[in-house]
């Protein structure tokens, strides 16, 4: 019998997904784990209008190296089409869910591994928003949930 070896970064993420903070967010309907195909993790985050936005995380090196994530269409298995990105009133939501940066593959925020690696001045400008391995994936999910539930998030009008 061959036992699969689980890499340490995947074990660390699995442990964080079992932590009370993550489980409470799931129980409250703020987010839900969709799938894990290491190092890719899909997690849906619920907006104020009950719309769910799925994030595709690359968690390689977790938690010492923060993840990078972008909005994802799990049905088409591709980046979420820009016309389905969260609507906004021109504030914080538009600054993070950018369609004009990196082809939409990463969120424009200091917590995101790709964004921080391309903005050398951000650690000094946004120290409270940087990735914290001790908070783990919940840190990322909390800021996304906050954005999708703030006054700048605009509900889609459905006919």
The b/e string for 82-120 (b: 16+ C-beta within 10 A; e otherwise) is eeebbbbeeebbbebbbeebbebebbbbbbbbbbbeeee
- Respond yes or no: is residue 111 known to be catalytic: yes
The active-site residue, picked from 59, 111, 150, 158, is: 111
CA distances from 93 to 27, 36, 40, 108, 125 (A): 25, 26, 24, 10, 19
Q: What is the largest CA-CA distance in the chain?
A: 57
**CB distance 31 to 44 below 8 Å:** yes
Q: Which positions are annotated as active-site residues?
A: 111
């Amino acid at each position: 019998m061959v036992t699969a070896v689980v890499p340490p970064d995947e074990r660390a993420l699995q442990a964080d997904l079992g932590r009370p903070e993550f489980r409470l967010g799931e129980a409250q309907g703020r987010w839900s784990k969709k799938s894990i195909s290491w190092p890719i993790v899909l997690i849906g985050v619920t907006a104020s209008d009950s719309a769910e936005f799925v994030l595709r995380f690359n968690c390689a090196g977790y938690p010492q190296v923060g993840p990078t994530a972008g909005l994802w269409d799990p049905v088409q298995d591709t980046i979420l089409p820009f016309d389905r990105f969260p609507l906004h009133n021109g504030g914080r939501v538009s600054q993070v869910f950018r369609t004009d940066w990196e082809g939409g593959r990463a969120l424009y925020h200091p917590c995101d591994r790709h964004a921080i690696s391309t903005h050398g001045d951000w650690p000094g400008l946004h120290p409270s928003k940087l990735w914290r391995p001790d908070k783990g994936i919940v840190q990322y999910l909390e800021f996304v949930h906050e954005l999708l539930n703030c006054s700048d998030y605009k509900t889609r009008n459905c006919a």
